[in-house]
Amino acid sequence: MSHYAVGVDVGGTSVKLALVSEEGEVIEQTSVPTLGDESPDATVSQIAETVAAFKKNLKAGDEILGIGIGVPGVVDLDGGTVSYPPNLKGWGVVRLGDLVKKATGYETKVENDANVAAFGEGIFGSGKNHNSFIMITLGTGVGGGIVIGKKIYRGMFGGAGEIGHISIQHDGPACNCGNRGCIERYIGQQNIVDFAHQTVGKFPHSPLARTAEDRRLEVKDLGLNAVKNDEFSIHVLGHVGKLLGVALTSMLHILDIRTFIIGGGVAGAGDFILGPAETHIKTHALASMRHSVKLIPAVLGNNAGVLGAAAMVYQN
């Protein structure tokens, strides 16, 4: 007899669902379009239908223990209440955990998506040998999750870990959150591309010069060309790494957590970002803290969400 959990990752464009073993093996996986402009009942129905399909494919005696869901926005653990999640315009305030439990019959845990990804890395990925760490995801925006003692640290009201909204310049560019100079406004994907466009004039011989000038540049192009010693790509990624290091130094000083796991699509550039970030921390953090800092790449990739969501079920 085997036990499984269903992990669900609700994103802006798709809902990923996976049947996950206790060892973190993805047994079956699928995704459906996010119906964010519709009522949450549409997403609940999608989840219920997929869970029923997973159950139908189980061997005799096998069992699903429960469902874990990662969703954008602040989550209240009382009934898994999600309040006005970004990119899900048709939702409002939704007791998602209660709705999914009613539709499927399974106990359901709901948590912020960045926290879920961090928890997944902590149980099945780069963080499994670390008791406490901070995870940062670099993509369209900058997300984060804090794990202390193998548990998600949520803060008093569930909003802890909003690393993307640490201000590194009090009078910097306005952010959608209402703050100014947020790290997300500098090293979110589009902001990296904007910086590259502003800077490329200093590197006219770069193979990416025309691409950047025409605004056709993608962040992945920088990583691919940095390994070929393109000075322009190395310069832009080094800029990203340095600013990431500024934010992480603040996190280090507040929490005294010295292990950082870096994931997300932008982090695919690896040491071209992590190296400058670590250098900044080790030259700007308090001397008593700086030398034991570790920056580690995440390893779960796009499965971090579903694996972390499933891991929440097993945690119980």
Whether residue 279 contacts residue 291, with contact meaning beta carbons closer than 8 Å, is answered with no
| pLDDT reported for residue 72 | 86
Helical H runs in 188-302?
189-199, 209-213, 219-226, 231-255, 271-284, 287-290
For residue 74, the model assigns a pLDDT of 82
Residues 190 and 228 in one domain: yes
Task: Indicate the burial class of 125 (C-beta count within 10 angstroms; 0-12, 13-18, 19 or more).
Answer: buried
Give the CA distances from residue 18 to residues 8, 60, 119, 128, in Å, rounded to whole numbers and listed in that order. 7, 19, 16, 20
Name every residue whose Cβ is closer than 8 Å to that of residue 19 and which is 6 or more positions away in sequence.
4, 5, 6, 26, 27, 28, 29, 54, 64
Amino acid identity of residue 91, one-letter, is: W
Output the CA torsion 185→186→188→190 (10° steps): 90
Residue 261 · residue 153 · CB < 8 Å: no
pLDDT in 10s for each residue of the chain, 316 residues: 899 999 999 987 889 999 999 999 999 999 999 888 888 999 999 999 999 999 998 888 889 999 999 998 888 877 789 988 877 888 889 999 999 999 999 999 999 999 999 999 999 999 999 999 999 999 888 989 999 999 999 888 888 999 999 999 999 999 988 899 999 999 999 999 999 999 999 999 999 998 888 788 999 999 999 999 999 999 999 999 999 999 999 999 999 999 999 998 899 899 999 999 999 999 999 999 998 999 999 999 989 999 999 999 998 6
- Based on the domain organization, do 201 and 280 belong to the same domain? yes
Determine the pLDDT at residue 278.
96
- Cα 261 to Cα 275: distance, rounded to the nearest angstrom: 13
CA–CA dist 244, 168 (Å, integer): 10
111 and 36 in a common domain:
yes
What does pLDDT average to over the chain?
93
- Could you give the CA distance from residue 109 to residue 127 in angstroms, rounded to a whole number? 21
* pLDDT attached to residue 157: 80
- 164: domain CATH number? 3.30.420.40
- By the 8 A CB rule, do 248 and 298 touch? no
Residue-number span of the structural domain to which 92 is assigned:
3-121+303-315
pLDDT of residue 316: 67
How many Å apart are CA 271 and CA 246, to the nearest integer?
Answer: 16
As for how many domains the chain has, the answer is 2
Verify that 156 and 219 share a domain, yes or no. yes
- Residues 310 and 266 both lie in one domain: no
Query: Are 136 and 98 in the same domain?
Result: no
CA distances (Å), origin 100, targets 30, 45, 260: 18, 8, 33
Give 24: exposed, middle or buried? Use CB within 10 Å, 0-12, 13-18, 19+: middle
Co-location of 230 and 102 in the same domain: no
CA 222 – CA 197 distance, rounded (Å) = 12
As given in the structure block, the two tokens for residue 197 are: 């466009």
The closest of 197, 73, 187 to 141, measured between CA atoms, is 187
The verdict on 59 and 132 lying in the same domain is no
Q: Are residues 109 and 181 in the same domain?
A: no
Same domain (yes/no): 219, 110: no
**Which element (helix H / strand E) includes 109?**
strand 108-112
* Spatial distance between the Cα atoms of 39 and 92, rounded to a whole number of angstroms: 9
**Is the same domain home to 140 and 178?**
yes
Looking at residue 16, what is its pLDDT? 95
